[in-house]
Structure 1
Amino acid sequence: MKEPNLKTGERLDGLPSQGVSIIQNPDMFSYSLDAVLLAYFANPNKKGRGLTVDLGAGTGAVGLFYAKKVAGQVKLVEIQEDLAAMAKRSIDLNEMADRMEVIHSDMQEVFDQIKPGSVDTVLCNPPYFPVKETTKQNVDEHYQIARHEVAIDLPKLAQTANKLLKNKGKFFMVHRPERLGDIFAALTARGLQVKHLQFVYGKADREANMVLVEAIKQGRAGGVRVMPPIVAYTADNNYTEQVQEILYGAGWTLE
């Protein structure tokens, strides 16, 4: 790995199990456990030898973590120019430029750079919160776009993923359990059939606060499987053995 060339306000974070470092600026936006778990959860066809696209890639965390366990090309699509530039520098830092590329674009306008129907796998860690008149939004533009559906909402995201994917291609997403009704409605209406769910719990005695979703383009209806849960923290606020292994254990492999 090259030596990082950090700018003012930036720091280097990483995922030891994958041997990846990410350049971040906490004043803009920083990845969290949801990005790690999405990359871990994604289980593409054919050992990931096809093209993967990460929509709304931010600083590139999901795509870089995921790229270490697959053999194919990975393209990161990010609408915010400074985050896209940071992602590109992280790709260079991790010496992954031979398999990874950043596309600075609105994901809904990326089809002149990524051919429709050419993608095997789509990843997305989208904004979780719908925008309503009563919504309290982040004043900071970076956080607002990352957290609230101002640039993309679930139906438009589902349509974009559908257009990019080959038939039987896979779509992986992390979201909030309270949006499951919206998620199923948006994906099903646009030809993406949910096949696997995995719930993430902050602690064992609390409600789930994340859900990992796998859907298949033109998959058969029904047959949704719920995988064993992930519990993030112990009662005394340490990572559980399960999450410790994901973060610090052996490098991830595909089934």
Structure 2
Amino acid sequence: MSCPRKRRSSTRRSGRGCSSSPWREMTASPGNPPPLVIRQPGRGYRFSIDSVLLAGFAAPFCRGKVLDLGTGCGVLLLLLSHLSPGMVSGTGVELQEDLLAYARENFRGSGFAGRLIAVKGDFRGDVPGVAPGAFDFAVSNPPYGRAGRGRRNPDPGKEKARHEVTCTLPELFAAAARSLSTAGRFAFILPYPRLPEIEPCAVKEGLRVEFLRVVHPRAGDPPSRLLCCAVRGGSGAPCELPPLYLHGGAGKYAPEVEQVCRLFRGSQRDRR
């Protein structure tokens, strides 16, 4: 299947300054793991290319016990299970009952049923099975629209997935920091214009922005998304990784994006 569809700080490192980053270990093909089949709603929320971009970015950092904040149908944990040999287990937290059911079904049918679980809960508070400091890595593809901004979506599922109806960015950072062990990492994706909000949210929760990667639709286009990895504790300036151009020639996805897309055999949409 085909995939689902600021100004630079003077203290930010880039290029050779990032040569020791774990991200650079992600250079080879993931091999030939069993392809994924993702079931998701026929209407309302459906996962997008952002999940694919985040999984490819996060995979080299991912290790140990992994927490997905707002797991949806579980696609991020499934992709990371394929891409990250260091991942031991994954827990997805989801507030919406219908998406939770899809995540559980996808986990059961994936071959990773013993490693992946989905739990219902609001990660802004206490969630069964999500103890403070219990996770080595957290990941999230959060709602990208600020609360109270833009047009409201008439579909409740899409509204919650795309706009900060049930969770704001500061609340997301607080939940991630609370869940992480010492030196644990948190990877996420946001629209590029939200870059100025990231560092204040991170600093408040004891997180340090460690790696940034800007996504452009095509070479020459302005940036559209920002991939980020923060670490609990430590010091140092953020390291800016080489930019990612989503599309190459002839309208095709860039090779490293297509590499992750090849993990999919298909996605099934319910008719209901």
Structure 1-normalised TM-score?
0.85
Q: Which residue is 2:186 aligned to?
A: 171
Deviation (angstroms), 1:17: 6.5
The answer as to 2:160 corresponding to 1:145 is: yes
Q: Which residue is 1:252 aligned to?
A: none
Q: Which residue is 2:241 aligned to?
A: 227
The answer as to 2:72 corresponding to 1:72 is: no
Q: Deviations over 1:145-185 (max 9, x none)?
A: 00001110111111111111011100000111100111111
The answer as to 2:75 corresponding to 1:61 is: yes
Q: Which residue is 1:93 aligned to?
A: 109
Paired amino acid for 1:246: V
Q: Which residue is 1:248 aligned to?
A: 262
Structure 1 residue ranges without an equivalent (≥5) = 1-12, 250-255
- Contact persistence 1:78–1:103 (CA under 8 A): yes
Deviation (angstroms), 1:205: 1.6
Paired amino acid for 2:74: G
Deviation (angstroms), 1:28: 2.0
Q: Which residue is 1:136 aligned to?
A: 151
Paired amino acid for 1:203: R
Change in 2 beyond 3 A, CA 1:101/1:242: closer
Q: Deviations over 1:207-254 (max 9, x none)?
A: 11111100001121x3211111111113532222332233238xxxxx
Paired amino acid for 1:189: K
Q: Which residue is 1:115 aligned to?
A: 131
Deviation (angstroms), 1:43: 4.3
Paired amino acid for 1:226: E
Q: Deviations over 1:13-70 (max 9, x none)?
A: 899965222111241211111101111111466x72x210000010111111012223
Cα distance in 2 between the residues matched to 1:204 and 1:87: 35
Tell me the percent identity: 29
Q: Which residue is 2:218 aligned to?
A: 203
The partner residue of 1:28 within 33, 44, 49 is 44
- Contact persistence 2:121–2:127 (CA under 8 A): no
Paired amino acid for 2:49: L
- Contact persistence 2:119–2:128 (CA under 8 A): no
Q: Which residue is 1:5 aligned to?
A: none
Change in 2 beyond 3 A, CA 1:118/1:58: same
RMSD: 2.4
Structure 2 residue ranges without an equivalent (≥5) = 5-29, 264-272
Q: Which residue is 1:84 aligned to?
A: 100
Cα distance in 1 between the residues matched to 2:115 and 2:255: 32
Equivalenced residues, count: 235
Paired amino acid for 1:89: E
Cα distance in 2 between the residues matched to 1:96 and 1:235: 35
